[in-house]
Chains A and B, each alone.
Chain A
Amino acid sequence: MGQRVLLIEDEPNIIEAISYILSKDGWTVHTHSDGETAMDKVLQGVPDLIILDVMLPGRSGYDILRDLRADGVTASVPVMMLTARGQAKDRDMAERLGATHFMTKPFSNADILDCVRTLATS
């Protein structure tokens, strides 16, 4: 255990909720709330899984995803996209850019746990 999850999200309450759920499940959760500096944060210590919000201040989740996939170090890290917009074209965009999974807000805690477990073990 002790796998590391990086949560990039700007809504404080959502950060709190996800951190609580995952911590309880035994994950080590790091959080970051700014888009601009997200890439630096990732490269400081590559996590086992990244949960990435689309609408971030400074830089959009899609741009960050593109960089992650372009960088050899992070290209294979599973990325779960979270979005509150949830339209089909957002999902298409995420998949095209190489998101491992796509989840629309709001989500159930069970769903996000299942998803994190599946992605982390694959």
Chain B
Amino acid sequence: MISFNLLVFVSIAYVVFLFAVAFAAERRAAMGKTAWLRSSAIYTLSLSIYCTAWTFYGAVGYAARSGLEFLTIYLGPTLVMIGWWWLVRKLVRIGRTQRLTSIADLISSRFGKSTFLGVLVTVLAIVGTTPYIALQLQSVTQSIAVFAASSGEVWEAGDLNGAAMWVAAGLAVFTVLFGTRNLDAHERHHGIVLAIAVEAVVKLFALIAVGVFVVWGVAGGIGPTMDLIDASAQSQWAPQPSRWIGLIFVSAAAFLCLPRMFQVLVVENSDERTVSTASWAFPTYLLLMSLFVVPIAVVGLDLMPAGANPDLFVVTLPLSEGREGLAILSFLGGFSSATSMVIVATLALATMVSNHIVVPSWLNARTPGAVVSGDVRDVVVMSRRISIGVILALGYIYFRLSGGGGALAAIGLVSFTGVTQVLPAMIGGVFWRGANRWGAGAAISIGFAVWAWTQFLPSFGVDAVISQAVFDQGPFGINWLRPYALFGIEGIDPFVHAVFWSMLLNTGALIVVSILTFPNPLERLQGAQFVNVYDYSSGARTWSQSAAQAEDLLVMAQRILGGAEAQSIFQAEARSQGKDGFLPDVTPDFISRLERELSGSVGAATAHAMMAQLTEGAMVSVDDLIAVADETAQIMEYSSQLEAKSAEQDRTARALREANEKLTALSIQKDAFLSQISHELRTPMTSIRSFSDILRDGEIEDEARKKFAGIIHDETNRLTRLLDDLLDLGVLESGQVQLNIGEGTLAEVLDRAIMASGVAPDDLVISRRAVNEGVPLTTDLERLAQVFINLISNAAKYCMADDPELRIIVRQINGQTVVDFCDNGAGVPKESQSMIFEKFSRLEDAGKAGGAGLGLSICRQIMTALGGDVTYLPGQGGAGFRVTIPAAVALAAQ
């Protein structure tokens, strides 16, 4: 008995191993070591995603039900690879030169970059692939259920659903991780490709191991097996030619048209030469895959109990024989088949949804000229991730709705026929220049409709979507529209019927509509590029001598570069070709040069796209559009950076200018200051010198001598005071003043100041109101007193009233203590009020003052240092000064 947990463990270990493989491949690719990742072996093995769980499990079931018919599924791709490998090579070449990203891109690009066709093919692919993804989920859950049953557990539908959901979620994570890691213009994913190559080996090995075990371990060798086959009912079934032809055709077409096959066949291919190797190696792989299908089916039918699902013989046979290791290997083979298909299919579909639906709508939604913000790549990557999730969710939902019923092979065939509807447009596009988008659109639409009506919708079962009545009488009683008998032709196998009518009408529409309508010129040129890809791609990088008219180019260049510049470029070129005028011959050289000129103005991608339009008729691809938008965003960003820089430079320049003005002003101030200092120092020195000369020269009365000595003494004091003030001011202005914070009341400070000012009551009456002066202070009391002394002295000096009086008023304003000093003199003239706190500003008629005009300047510096202020208080009758002591200082002591 296999523990179910062991199975889960093995599965998880296997998945981790795949992650590691993919991660390692990405690492190597990132280091540039891609040579072996591009090898023929990897390419061939990656093609094996054709063999899904449908092939792994379903082929045996198919053989059990229909005999050798299962071979057609292998024969189709084999014919394509052997007989039509040059078609594959052509597709690969076109894919590379046109940078195709998906089958939808191929169709849309070929037919003039038609958005409609891109969307149509994308929708068709999603509709056709969703059941197929559901099928893979179903096969994995069924095989898990087999193990669960063998270990005695009974699984309810809910358990199956849960398992399917976990598988789907895990696959989504894997695909997002390795499918949207980076956005490569070529859409190559080395990690995923290597992982599916590994899975290809695992599934082949598993199937052969089971086959060998069945033939030699169970049946007893080749001879007995052949006997068993001869005796089986299957060997008696004669092939139905119409079904065989239809199946081979459909599987061959699906091999080319399935989104996941196009992904590995064309998009992931990076070297055309690998195609020729794959042309024999891949059929060999298919041959090995099919080798043991019939023996397993026949032995299974022989040994397993009646009613056992032949789709699961690959697992149930080894289990019933007790070969649990082999059964697990077989399970891993089926698991590999399912996961590799889902991963690549999801990735391919997500690319299509993103490139053909999301990004074009996003680009359209943007108003032209709007600032492109953010990175376009973010939008692309995000849309792909979301698409991956949505597509897997769709697969899961389909799995739930379909109830996990129905034979695997039947679902697979429905899918195959669906995607085959793209084939006529693709083949027509690649080989017939006359095919145009009207034709392609009509072909795919009609094919899609016929397929949906005759095969897809009926596949849900009678009465599920289409009622029995419609099957019998046709919709609305229109007899010739019966799903299984179009145009009244009955008796054809439903599959063949669907393929026949859808292909006939599809191809017919392509041919007839293409002939009846006209392609636009660009589409015609694009068609030529596809059909004659080898001619066009030989010299890949240069511009071909082309349809471009010199005049068209001039018109465009003028629009971008401006008339004068464009004309001079064209004229210079014409002259160098020995021609007069403005229209030179359009040589590849000239086109390249012009493109470079244009790139300077509009960016390389835009320039290339514009030149391409005119010279080769290539339409702008989505990649180009993305590149354009990207580039525009970068240019925008760059220019906004430039703007920011230049704004910054403006700011710097302004700052420098201001600094310079400040320096100039400071320099002027310094000159004025020095000049003032000079004056203030020289004036007392003049007196001192003069009187000392007089005293020295003798012959002088005692009275005069005493007087002159007194003058010298006074003038010396004046000099000393001046120097003291200058030094004090210097300290205060430098901000390095040492404050000596102490506590006291305002009254104490005022008392001390009045005392120190030495003002006699005869000279100046000082009136106070002791009531308000009890304010406690925490500040430098000495400095505050110095301010008060200055103000009191000034009043004494300058107040010229007959009865000089100074009122000292203390108030609380807005929580601050203010002390006003108001005298009854003439006051300070209005025009001088703003000047008095400047250094050396002295009212002119104050000759007797004897100060240098530094006092108020010092007061202001002190008050600033203390966090307060001293201002002139106009409108007080005389001179008024207000000292504001900051709230914090006053409050701190309370």
Contact = CB atoms under 8 A, between A and B. Distances in A.
Q: Do chains A and B stick together as partners?
A: yes
Interface of A: 10-14, 16-18, 20-21, 33, 55, 57-58, 84-87, 104-110
Contacts of B684: 13
Contacts of B714: 13
B711 A84 contact: no
B690 A84 contact: no
Contact of A84 (B682, B693, B715, B847): B682
B687 A13 contact: yes
B686 A106 contact: yes
Contact of B689 (A11, A12, A33, A107): A107
Contacts of B694: 17, 20-21, 109
Contacts of A18: 690
B678 A106 contact: no
* Chain B residues touching A, range: 20 to 34
A104 B681 CA distance: 12
A58 B845 CA distance: 8
Interface string B676-700: 0011101111111111011001000
Contacts of A106: 682, 685-686, 688-690
Nearest to B682: A84
A51 to B, nearest CB: 13
B636 to A, nearest CB: 57
B691 A86 contact: no
A108 B870 CA distance: 43
Given A12-B847, A57-B845, A85-B678, A108 B693 contact: yes
Contacts of B683: 11, 14, 84, 105
Interface of B: 675, 678-680, 682-691, 693-694, 697, 704, 711, 714-715, 844-845, 847
A11 B704 CA distance: 18
A108 B694 CA distance: 10
A107 B847 contact: no
B690 A17 contact: yes
A17 B685 CA distance: 12
Contacts of B715: 13
A58 B844 CA distance: 7
A21 B687 CA distance: 12
B690 A21 contact: yes
A17 B712 CA distance: 11
Contacts of A55: 679
B845 A17 contact: no
Q: Considering residues B690, B694, B711, which has the most beta carbons from chain A within 10 angstroms of its beta carbon? A: B690
B322 to A, nearest CB: 119
A17 B675 CA distance: 24
A14 B687 contact: yes
B685 to A, nearest CB: 5
A58 B843 CA distance: 11
A87 to B, nearest CB: 7
A84 B679 contact: yes
A87 B675 contact: yes
Nearest to B688: A106
Given A17-B687, A84-B686, A87-B675, A10 B711 contact: no
Contacts of B845: 57
A36 to B, nearest CB: 10
13 contacts: A11-B686, A11-B687, A13-B714, A13-B715, A17-B686, A17-B687, A17-B691, A20-B694, A21-B690, A57-B844, A84-B683, A105-B685, A109-B697
A50 to B, nearest CB: 18
Contacts of A33: 847
A11 B685 CA distance: 12
